Structure formats: C-alpha cells, structure tokens
Structure 1
Amino acid sequence: MLRLSSLSISIIVALIFPSTVFADEDDMEIIEVKGRPQENFSLADPSTSIPQIDASDLLKTLPGAAVNGNGPLSGIAQYRGLFGDRVNTQINGVSLAGAGPNAMDTPLSYASLILTEGVSMTRGIAPVSAGIDTLGGSIEVIESKASFDETSGEVSGQYQTNGDRGNLGGKVNLGSEKQAVLLYAEKLQGNTDVTTGDGDTITPTTYEKTMAGGEYRVNLSKNGINDESIAFGYQYLETNDAGTPALPMDIDFIRTHRFKVEGEHNISSWDLNWHMAYSDADHAMDNYSLRDKPDTSSARYNSANSNSFDSEISIAKDAWLFGLDARMSQHNSLITDPTDSSFYIDNFNDIQDNIYSIFAQWQQDIGQWNWQFGSRIKNYQTDSGTINTSMASTMTAVQALVDDFNNSDRSQVQTGLDLTINGQYQFNDDLTGIIGLARKQDSASYQERYLWLPMQSTGGLADGRTYVGQVDLDLETAYQLELGFDFEHNQWKVSPRAFVNRIDNYIQGTPATDANVIAVAAMMGDDNPMQFSNVDALLYGMDFTASYQLSTHWNMDFLGSYVRGERRDIDDNLYRIAPLNITLGLNFQQGNWIGRIEGVANAAQNNVSETQLEETTAGYAIMNVSAGYDIENWTIRAGINNLFDTEYEDHLAGYNRVYSSDIAVGSRMPGMGLTTWVTGAYRF
C-alpha cells in the first residue's frame, strides 16, 4: 500500500475542501473559462481525424508532438524531442501511474475512445497550473462528463482491414436539474497481425481491450447556473494478449480499477476546484505466449502491480490562481520462470514515488501585453525496498549487485522549483506576438533510479539495450525560451513557434563502468550495458501551423515540426528524436459532405545517438484519403491510409525484438501498409 507521510496526510485532509481546473481551447480560438486564465492550446479532434485505436494516435495531428510507438496500445507521448515522464499527461485533469515497468500501459492508454472529445496540448511553455512536472510540455485528454438537464447518447464503431481491427463503444447521459449519470463501455480488438507495404507481417500486433465505467454528478447550485457540483467516477480497464514487438515481452493482461471524486464550487467570488483519484493496477507480461521464443532463451513471466493516488485543490479569483497537489505511487515487479519454480528476480520491490507541490499563478493585461507569471515548488520523495534474486546464490557478480543496492541510501528527497513567464503582445487585430521563458525541473523516473540489475525495464526506451539505474540522480534543470506569433487575416491563419531548451543534468544512458554490471550483462548477452546518468543536453527547433481558405468549399492546412537534440557534454545526439515532418491537407466541405486528401512526409533522421547505437532512418512520404457524410444524428466516414502501400521505417517505433518474424531481429520497426477503414456514429 501507499505510505503516507505527514505532509501527504495534511494534503489529503486539505482536499476535503473544494478543486481541478482546466480549459479546452484550440490554437486558433480562445475560450474563456470562469476561474482560469486564458491559455494557448492546440486541440486534436477525434471526429475529424484518421481512426484511432489509442488516444496517442491523435498527437500526430498537433504541432511539435509525436508518438513513440512500442505496440498498438502502447504509444508514448513525445513533445519537442522530450518523451515519457517528462511530458505531463492527464485525463480530465488526473495523472495516475501505470503498472508496467516498460510503459506498456502508458497514460494515454487509459483514455476511452467513446468518451474522448479531444486531446488538448499546451503549445509551448506550459504554465505551472498545467501540472506538477511539465518540463516536456503538457497534454490532456478531454473526456465527456455527466451533464445536467440532458438526456443523450452515442453509439460508434470503426473497422480497419489491415490487422482486422475494430472497436465498438457506447455512452449514455441521463441528467435532471440536480443529478446526472454518464455510463459507457467499449470493446477494441485486433484479430490479426498487421502487414507492411512490402507485405511483411509485423508480429505480434494483435490485441483485445475492454473499458467500462461511469460518473455520477450532483448539482449543488442554488441558482440553476450549474457552476457547483460534486462527481464520483469509476473506470475498469482490461487488456489481454496485446503485442509490443519493440519490447522484450508482450502483454498477457492489464487489469485496472480507477476511482475519482471531484468538485467545483463558488465561494464568495472565489472559484474552488478539487479532485482525488486512486488507481489499483495489475499487469503481467511474458516472452512466449504471442511470440516464438528461441530455444537458447529462457521463458520469463513478469508480474507487476501499482497503486497510485493523485489529488489537486486550486482556488482562483480575478488574475490569481493558487494550487496544492499531491501524487503518490507504489510499484512492484517480479520476474519468474514458468518452467523453474525456484527462479525469481525482484525487478522492483516496494518502490515509493511521491511528489508534493504548491503553485501560484498570476495573469493580467498590461497595455497591449497579456502577461502570465507562475511559480511551483515541488518536493520529491522516493524509496525502494530491499531486493534479491535466485541467481545471487550461483553468480558472485549478481550477489555483489544485490549487496550494493541493498546497502545503498535508497531513500531520496529532492526539492524542485519551476518558474514561468508567458507573454502575448497584440500588435493589431491580425497579429499577436508570443514570448515564453521558463526554468523547470524534473526528477528521475523510478526505473532510472532503482533498476539494479542490467535489464530492459526502462519505461519503454525500446532500444534493445540493458540498463542499470543510479539511486542518486540529480534533478533535470531546463532553461526554456520560445518565440512566435499568431497571424490571421482574410483567408490566412499562420502560427509559427521557435524554441530552445537547454537542460542540465539531463538523464540518459551512458556506458556502464561497474565491473559487476558489465560481467552480469555479458552473461545475458549484452557486451555494452548502459547506466542512467546525468548529462547535459540542448534541444531546439520550430513547429508551424497554417491554413488557407481557397474557396467557399475548399481549404488547405499545413503542419510542420522540426527538433534537434544534442548532447552538450560530448559530441553526440539525443536518442529517439522525431525527424522533420510535414503534413499537408486539402479539405472539402459542402452541405453534409466532407472530404480530405492528406500527404504526410518525414525526412531522414541521421542525427542519432551513437552512445545508444541508434540507427538512422530514411525519409518517406505517404498519402491518406477520406470522405464522409455528417448530419445531426449520425456520421459515416471511410478512407484509405497509406494509399500507395509505401514501405517505410518509423524512426520512433523502436526495434524488432521478435524472433521467427518477417522483420529481422534488431531492425527498425516498419510502418503499416495500405489499410481501408470505415467509421460510423449515431447520436441521440
């Protein structure tokens, strides 16, 4: 169970009183939400996007965003070259930890497709109010909530030919003036492995996933405005037999129960919002059920579990916003051999990963400027129980690693400070200038800190390397600058952003130097093990959106992103950085008919990490086409992705780890070939 410090108990007590805040805006339109300062967001709309099987797919339509794809249900968010825990990822304001030590159940995998109304991304430097750790930006899935005075529902489904993939979901809202209930359920299934443009099969890429839950909301308002309420929510997720070919194991099952209670209140002109959320997750994975295991390799089964608690209370009035946050998680991971009952490895044991934080934010118009200033103080507390393994009794080097870890000071306490300045200057009705400055800090993940035996439980790096952690890693400290503008005149909308992100103590793998680590890794077949270390990094680049209204029925849109990631301490590049990519779309709309032709191009990525033996990838371009018919109660859309069945390698998709596959072991994972699809929805 989670350990509660005196500080965490105080925070939980404080949360008995009313607050969560969030606004959803797109990058061309600002919506003012009471009690929350205006912020710049980019919004991905699932109703107009290519069909998704995971909410992470929507990130590809946002400027600067990308996806590290380790499997059909295991997409990791990347923003301007930073990924994983550095990117603050929330679902309706909540951030709960997954169970998998290799991020098979990523934060975005817990988003319900039938509930998802959009994926909102803070473009540029995220304000301190966006979340506790926002060094790599902030992403939020906006899901439907129970609504008062409304009876409505939706049934939707989709089917894709490549992989025989389909999903079916439904939701219903029953709301009176004082009470509302939202219920939903959905089923997603991939029945066969997908194929590439050359006809090769990517094994395994099948999956089965079920989600169900609901929300009950009570209206506390006395004036019928519906601005005060308390809600109780529950979600059940079960994933079975899902492939992750870029990782050493596949998903046997993930079973997660998530609970949430939240409230919004107005007290003496102050807007109070709060939430408390809890997750209980069990996860198992293996290297033999969905893939062929070489005769020279041993069977391995990993049983993992986590408990996670997330809370926030915030209060806002006029230009001011104050908040208090707590996020606590506990993790375990045990590796066994189904053919040998005596074999075991304590992968992670009783990991405690807790963060407590307080923030203040002020936003005000001053002349033609709109300024936003924010500060957040964070207290990180991490710890691990002692570990052991059956291998220690027969391997001296393993016993030495066990002793070194158990005798180390595993309890770590660190304090971080975030400072942000965001400014907008209104030159005229058409042109707004953008400037942002920040100093942000982030702590190591529990894998980076407490992985004691050379293994690949790395939070989804998918580079095929074995790693060990370092207990006393320093906080990453980033100094960020952003410049840009928004221009809108007649038929044109243009919004470029340039950025620089200088990070001290950036955490990345470097060659291990411990003789025992090297010896154990060699016994496991890796002559070049890595250790998570603090290095110095620099990321810079630009992302760009634009649109042009060609005529009444036709318009074009453009999305481009470029980022370069470099080491500052040595002459090398950072690992798994998205290449230059461009999307150009031609859209048609007349009456109820809609259509789109879309070209997606990725440049070659030659700036790769030599330290991590990262391979380069060639550039490619694919075309997607779609058409649809949309009226008040129902919508149907159909299309073809990768129209010309192009064979290509996705630089962010990792390397194949599966033997007896059409894809060579260690080769870059290829992209999906041609697939036709159809989606439909009925609303009432």
Structure 2
Amino acid sequence: MRHLPFAPLPLTILVSLVAMPTYAQQNTLIVEAHRGLPGETLLTPQASPAPAADAAEWLRRVNGVEAIRMGGHGLDPVIRGQQGNALNILVDGGYVFGGCPNRMDPPTAYAPLHSFDRVTVSKGVTTLQYGAGGSGGTVLFERNAPDFTRNRSPQGNVGATYDDNGERAGMYAHLVAGNPQGYVRVFGERQEASDYEDGSGQRIHSGFETTSGGLTLGMTPQEGTEIALGIESVRERDVKFAGAGMDSPKSDNETVRLRLDHAFSDTLRMEHRLQYTTIDHEMDNYSLRTPPTMPNGMPMQRRSPTESDTFTLKSMLEQQQGDSDLRVGINVLQNERDADIINDANDILLFNSWPEVMTRQSGVFAELDHYLNDSITVSGGVRVDYAQASTNAAYKTSDAGNIAANFYRSAYGVEGDLDHDSVLVGGFLRGELQLNPSKTLYASLSRAERDADATERYFAKGDWVGNPTLDAEAHHQVDIGVIHQQENARWEASAYADRVNDYIYRDSAIVAGMNRGNPVTLYRHIDATLYGVELSGEWRWAKVWETRGQLSWVRGDNLDDGGALADIAPLRGQLAQFYQRDDWEVGLTARFSDNQDRLGQGEVATSGYVVVDAEASWQWNDVTLRAGAKNLLDKTYRDFLNRNRSAGDPFLAGEMSGQALPLNEPGRSLWLGVDYAF
C-alpha cells in the first residue's frame, strides 16, 4: 500500500479548501443557511448550537438523520435506515474510508466540523455526480472559495466549547488571508473528553482525544478560476468504545487534495477534484481496558493494526443552454485496505482479517435539469460504473495457521478465483411543480446499485466471514413530497418507499468446523423494503416566538424470512419553543422517541423516552456566546441504534465481554460555547 493506485490520469483536478465568511447569528433552532432541492438541507456549522463530539453527532439535528453510537466519538450516520456505503459522504470533495471493519471511524470521524463553510444533506437519490450508490442519501462537507472582492482580509473565526459531562473541552481556529489573485487558509481543531455519565451516574466507557489541522494554498488568477492545493491531518488518541470489543489507542489520517475550477463563459464551466487519503488505525483490547483471561489465567491480549488508502477523482463539465442545465462527467473511486489480528502476548499473527483488499469503481454520468416554464422543472440522469474487487492475501497463512480462503470455503463453499467485477447502473427522474408562490410539489423515481464493501465481501476471522460471491444491491425508490413556505411559517411533508433486490443481509449461523460450534457472522442476499415518512415545520408568531417541530418514521422489512431489518430507528422527533428578541435567543426542546421492539439480527429492545434540552445565545458585535443544558432532567435513556450489546467474541472482548451493555446516552450535560468571527 501507500502508493498512488493509478497510472497518470488527467491532471485537471481538485483540492478544496476555502474561505471563511463572517458569520452572523442564525435565529433558527436548526441552523439552515438555505434550501436547495426538495429534500435537501444546507447547514452552517459555525452557527451550531450545542457542541458535538463529531460531525455525525451534529448531523442528528437534521430530521430523518440518525447515528449509531459505540462510544463518545465516531458515531456512524444512518439515513432512511441505511448506513455505510449506502450513503455517499464526501469530505471537501473526496471520500474517506475508515480503518475499522466494525466502523469505529466512519468518514464523519475525519471531518473537523468547524473547518467547513456548509454541510449539505440530501436524502435518497437527488444527483449522480458523486459516484455509484448513495441510495440512502448524500452528505457533503464543503469549503467555499474566498471572495476578497467583497470581503476583507484576513477573515476567519476562533472559538471554544466546554461540556461538564465528561469534561469535554474543544477549541478551534481558522484564518483565511489573501487578495483577488490568491489566498492561504489554515485551520485547526482539538477536542478532549473523559468518560461521560448517563442519567443514573453510571460511567460509560467513552473518552477520546482528537486533533486536526490543515493548510491550503489557492490561486484565483482570473474571475471564475480557482486552483487550490491542500493538506490535512487528523490525529485520534485513546478513543474508547463501550459498544465494541476493542478500543482505538491511535488513528492517523493524512489527506492531500487538488482542485481546479474554471468558467469558460457564463454558461460553460468545469470542475475537477483529486484526493488521496491514508488512514493508519490501531485497535486493541488491553491499552484502555482490562483484557479477558484464558483458562490458565493468562491475559488474552489482542491487537489489530489496519490501513485504508482512498483515491477519489471527479471531473465534470456543466453547460447551461436555453432552459436546460446539463452536467456530464467521470468518477473514479479506489480503496485499498489491509488488517491483521495479532496475539500480543506472544506476537503471533492470528488472522489476516482484511487480506489486502482492493475495491474500485470507475463511472460516467450525465444529468439534465429542464425548466418547462416558471413553475415546472423536470430533472433526470443516468450513470454507469464498472466495479471491481480483489484480495491479494486470501491464501496467505497466518502464524496460527489460518487462511482467509479457507474461511470463505467453509462458510460459502467458495474456491479458486475470489476476484469480483460487475456493472452498476443508476438513474433518476424527478419533477417539481410550483402550485403557487408558497407551495411546491415534488416526486422522483430512482435506481441505485451498491456493491459490497471490503468487510461484507472479504473480512475473515473465526467468527466473522465476508462473502466473496455477493452481488450488488439494487434499490428502486419513489419519493413524493410537498413544501409550503410563507413569510412566517414553513412546513414540509415527504414519503418514500424503496424496494431492494439482493439486499446484503448480515446474519449468523452455525458453520461446521468454525468458531468452536458457536454462531458465525455471515452475509447473504434477501429482498427487502424500506419505507417511511418525514414531517417538519417552523412557525414564527407574535414577532418574537418561534415554534419548530420534526417527526420521522421508517420501517424495514425482510421479505424473504419475514421480520425486521437491523438498525431501523423507531418513530422519533422533537418539538421546540424559542423566544427571539434582538441579539438574544432562549428556548426549550423536547426530543422524543417511541419504543422499538421490532428487532433485527442480534438487537436489543429499547423503551421510548422524552428528553428536554435548554439553550440560550447572545450576540455582541462579532462575538457569540452560547450556553445550555442537554438532558436537563438527567433522564437515563438510550437510542435504539446504539450498540447496546458488545461483541461476544472472547478473542476481542474486554472487561465488558458477553454483557448486553446499556450503552446509554449522556445524562445532564451543562455546556458553554463562545465564537469570535472577524
């Protein structure tokens, strides 16, 4: 690994790092900068209310976006009951694939929130330009190019936050300086936290430390042209995971980005993005917890070093002509992963768990927006990708005599060539009808294919085996919705249904000769459906009062075996009341969830809850002060998606082995924040 994965490619490409505007206070509970397409939400991180441990925890404020918690950091986003590579998550123009097969470090763990100018959340398939898949949705963390023709130099912001539950402290700083011909941007962010306590005072194994920083040099030689080169690093240390059998004492991320944007005219432009990112991730079951012991009393110390290198290329041409906007382009996405499991007591390699896995997708796309008249827009597109996957170490014998190919043969009867290739076809058709100045209807049909990831296809150890024969999932989805917008009120209602052929289903079964007769985690295909509804609204009344509400519900059905899909959140939402006057804002929010006893594989039922949050903010010139209390009444509760059971594998589990952990959310958390924008 650690080599550029391709022969020379077109050198017109990207690194995105960008300018920082001066941010005014946003008088909304969920800070929405503006809305783009129906079903799309654009957020401004710099105006966020309560501090968040990472970007995924922050995203949970968006209606219909959930996250799986394993500890205090590294929450894993879920949209419409889908996660992993069913979501296209791009960090400043490129993909970042984590180093943990159990998803301790999803892409959002490497997205330092306050360094971005905006975050776009799209549910379902609304565009094809970011790659194959994305059936659940797309999340873009973006940095904008600075505009020194209108804004002063230097510009930026600095800030700090503190949360007393877990003594979580954070600070960040960003600076952009330059002129209309070029700029430099630097940013840094740091957070450190101890274990938090739930509402009953129970300590949750959840502390972490993370530091990030970056530098971008950009040139804007003429209006409409930008060339930028950037580097970025993230360092995670001593990250604890109550919901897993290991912790992560170390995880290092390095990223290099190149970007070129050029406007040939008012109607023709191109954009190019190139990104290469590396992750060195280490896990063990003894550095941050007490390891289990063998029958002879010796500690069972296990360590798993991993590497994940990801290359992203996007090149797109956009043409505006008459009543149409046309976008055509290419994408290349390649990831190389390698992981081992080592017995550190005697330095024996037990498993090649990711046996030098390579996945690659190369595709072309075209999409068109056509404006029939002032009130009707029709959009559509198609993309085709060639997907490949291979493993270079499946026949390598570990020190303990384990061979990944033998696991595949025992679990699935697979022998010989383990390489995979397929053609992925996706597309969408969407219509928008503006009935009047305040009401818009929309509907869309889409198809998206998602190929198996490295873990689903090739992971290999005694109790968990990927399936090299997996086909791609095929999602066929319909979305409908209505948006009503007036001067003092806004509401939106949407519904969706997704019929999935060859859904990649994680299951468990007894496999002869494996795992000492205990169940083995396996993957197979089923047919499935996912469907749900989302409601949201805001109402400003009596000039100073604002009422906001959200509600989301999703259901996932296993059509082959009956029952539920895993990781499907119950009915949930929130209701908030805010008082806003001049530079002040105070409010209460009630977050609620129904109980969930409709369980997927290995899940634990949860009870419903209502949790109250309070917050206030005050802006004085360019300084914004915020304070509040999350879980004001100190309630003991847990989200259904939390890892409420630890890995029962005695080779990996630590002091929590075999327990159905009550991985509760934090109890009362008193927090403060200050931000200075200049």
TM over 0.5: yes
Q: Distance in 2 between matches of 1:554 and 1:398?
A: 62
Q: Which residue of 2 aligns with 1:201?
A: 203
Task: Indicate whether 1:384 and 2:391 are aligned.
Answer: yes
Q: Distance in 2 between matches of 1:545 and 1:21?
A: 33
Q: Distance in 2 between matches of 1:672 and 1:380?
A: 42
Structure 1 runs of 4+ with >6 Å offset: 2-5, 17-22, 25-28, 402-406
Residue 248 and residue 271 in structure 1: after superposition, are their counterparts in 2 closer, same or farther (change >3 A)?
same
Q: Which residue of 1 aligns with 2:448?
A: 440
2:532 pairs, out of 523, 541, 553, with 541
Report the TM-score when normalising by structure 1. 0.89
Task: Indicate whether 1:231 and 2:228 are aligned.
Answer: yes
Q: Distance in 2 between matches of 1:539 and 1:164?
A: 39
Q: Distance in 1 between matches of 2:174 and 2:366?
A: 37
The one-letter code of the counterpart of 2:282 is A
Unpaired runs of at least 5, structure 1 = 32-37, 455-465
2:155 pairs, out of 142, 152, 158, with 152
Query: What's the secondary structure of 1:58's corresponding residue?
Result: helix
2:629 pairs, out of 634, 640, 653, with 640
Q: Distance in 1 between matches of 2:11 and 2:587?
A: 47
1:13 pairs, out of 9, 13, 19, with 9
Query: What's the secondary structure of 1:449's corresponding residue?
Result: helix
Q: Which residue of 1 aligns with 2:269?
A: 271
Q: Distance in 1 between matches of 2:488 and 2:674?
A: 32
Q: Which residue of 1 aligns with 2:562?
A: 571
Superposition deviation, residue 20 in structure 1: 8.8
Q: Which residue of 2 aligns with 1:41?
A: 40
Q: Is the 8 A contact 2:17 2:143 kept in 1?
A: no
Q: Which residue of 2 aligns with 1:285?
A: 283
Task: Indicate whether 1:81 and 2:78 are aligned.
Answer: no
Superposition deviation, residue 659 in structure 1: 5.5
Task: Indicate whether 1:587 and 2:589 are aligned.
Answer: no
Aligned residues: 645
Superposition deviation, residue 133 in structure 1: 2.2
Q: Is the 8 A contact 2:184 2:217 kept in 1?
A: yes
Task: Indicate whether 1:348 and 2:350 are aligned.
Answer: no
Q: Distance in 1 between matches of 2:143 and 2:123?
A: 20
Residue 621 and residue 261 in structure 1: after superposition, are their counterparts in 2 closer, same or farther (change >3 A)?
same
Q: Deviations over 1:218-262 (max 9, x none)?
A: 0121xxxx3211000110111110111111110110111100000
Further displaced range: 379-388 or 281-290: 379-388
Task: Indicate whether 1:429 and 2:423 are aligned.
Answer: no
1:96-495 matched pairs, under 5 angstroms: 96-143=96-143, 145=145, 147-148=147-148, 150-190=153-193, 192-203=194-205, 205-221=206-222, 226-268=223-265, 269-296=267-294, 298-318=300-320, 319-367=325-373, 368-387=375-394, 388-390=396-398, 393=401, 400-401=406-407, 407-454=415-462, 466-495=463-492
Q: Which residue of 2 aligns with 1:458?
A: none
Q: Deviations over 1:149-182 (max 9, x none)?
A: 5311211110000001011111111111211000
Query: What's the secondary structure of 2:365's corresponding residue?
Result: strand
Q: Distance in 1 between matches of 2:94 and 2:166?
A: 32
Q: Which residue of 1 aligns with 2:674?
A: 680
Q: Distance in 2 between matches of 1:641 and 1:424?
A: 39
Residue 86 and residue 15 in structure 1: after superposition, are their counterparts in 2 closer, same or farther (change >3 A)?
farther
Further displaced range: 398-407 or 130-139: 398-407
Superposition deviation, residue 79 in structure 1: 0.5
Residue 570 and residue 40 in structure 1: after superposition, are their counterparts in 2 closer, same or farther (change >3 A)?
closer
The one-letter code of the counterpart of 1:169 is Y
Q: Distance in 1 between matches of 2:575 and 2:186?
A: 38
Q: Is the 8 A contact 1:18 1:265 kept in 2?
A: no
Query: What's the secondary structure of 2:132's corresponding residue?
Result: coil
Q: Distance in 1 between matches of 2:467 and 2:184?
A: 47
Q: Is the 8 A contact 1:148 1:179 kept in 2?
A: no
Q: Distance in 2 between matches of 1:440 and 1:629?
A: 45
Residue 580 and residue 494 in structure 1: after superposition, are their counterparts in 2 closer, same or farther (change >3 A)?
same
Q: Distance in 2 between matches of 1:311 and 1:398?
A: 31
Superposition deviation, residue 109 in structure 1: 1.1
Q: Distance in 1 between matches of 2:111 and 2:473?
A: 28
The one-letter code of the counterpart of 2:300 is S
Q: Distance in 2 between matches of 1:68 and 1:332?
A: 24
Q: Is the 8 A contact 1:21 1:314 kept in 2?
A: no
Q: Distance in 1 between matches of 2:311 and 2:488?
A: 47
Q: Distance in 2 between matches of 1:391 and 1:568?
A: 42
The one-letter code of the counterpart of 1:566 is D
Superposition deviation, residue 596 in structure 1: 1.9
Query: What's the secondary structure of 1:114's corresponding residue?
Result: helix
Q: Distance in 2 between matches of 1:562 and 1:403?
A: 40
Residue 399 and residue 423 in structure 1: after superposition, are their counterparts in 2 closer, same or farther (change >3 A)?
closer
Give % identity.
22
Q: Is the 8 A contact 1:44 1:58 kept in 2?
A: no
The one-letter code of the counterpart of 1:246 is G
Q: Is the 8 A contact 1:56 1:67 kept in 2?
A: yes
Superposition deviation, residue 390 in structure 1: 4.2
Q: Distance in 2 between matches of 1:21 and 1:131?
A: 21
Q: CA RMSD in A?
A: 2.6
Q: Is the 8 A contact 2:34 2:42 kept in 1?
A: no
Superposition deviation, residue 48 in structure 1: 3.5
Q: Which residue of 2 aligns with 1:553?
A: 544
Q: Distance in 1 between matches of 2:460 and 2:654?
A: 27
Further displaced range: 488-497 or 50-59: 488-497
Q: Is the 8 A contact 2:317 2:327 kept in 1?
A: yes
Q: Distance in 1 between matches of 2:190 and 2:389?
A: 37
1:522 pairs, out of 509, 516, 523, with 516
Q: Is the 8 A contact 1:557 1:586 kept in 2?
A: yes
Query: What's the secondary structure of 1:98's corresponding residue?
Result: coil
Residue 315 and residue 417 in structure 1: after superposition, are their counterparts in 2 closer, same or farther (change >3 A)?
same
Superposition deviation, residue 452 in structure 1: 2.6
Q: Is the 8 A contact 2:352 2:460 kept in 1?
A: no
Residue 343 and residue 441 in structure 1: after superposition, are their counterparts in 2 closer, same or farther (change >3 A)?
closer
Q: Deviations over 1:204-229 (max 9, x none)?
A: x11111101111110121xxxx3211
Query: What's the secondary structure of 1:370's corresponding residue?
Result: strand
The one-letter code of the counterpart of 1:313 is S
Further displaced range: 624-633 or 479-488: 624-633
Q: Is the 8 A contact 2:15 2:258 kept in 1?
A: no
1:655 pairs, out of 644, 649, 661, with 644
Superposition deviation, residue 406 in structure 1: 9.3
Q: Deviations over 1:347-405 (max 9, x none)?
A: 11221111101100000111332111010101111100124454654x8x999438769
Superposition deviation, residue 298 in structure 1: 1.6
Unpaired runs of at least 5, structure 2 = 19-29, 647-652
Task: Indicate whether 1:624 and 2:613 are aligned.
Answer: yes
Residue 17 and residue 240 in structure 1: after superposition, are their counterparts in 2 closer, same or farther (change >3 A)?
closer
Q: Is the 8 A contact 1:380 1:414 kept in 2?
A: yes
Q: Deviations over 1:597-621 (max 9, x none)?
A: 1010011012111xx2322111001
Superposition deviation, residue 113 in structure 1: 2.6
Q: Which residue of 1 aligns with 2:22?
A: none
Query: What's the secondary structure of 2:60's corresponding residue?
Result: helix
Superposition deviation, residue 39 in structure 1: 6.4
Report the TM-score when normalising by structure 2. 0.90
Q: Which residue of 2 aligns with 1:34?
A: none
Residue 411 and residue 353 in structure 1: after superposition, are their counterparts in 2 closer, same or farther (change >3 A)?
same
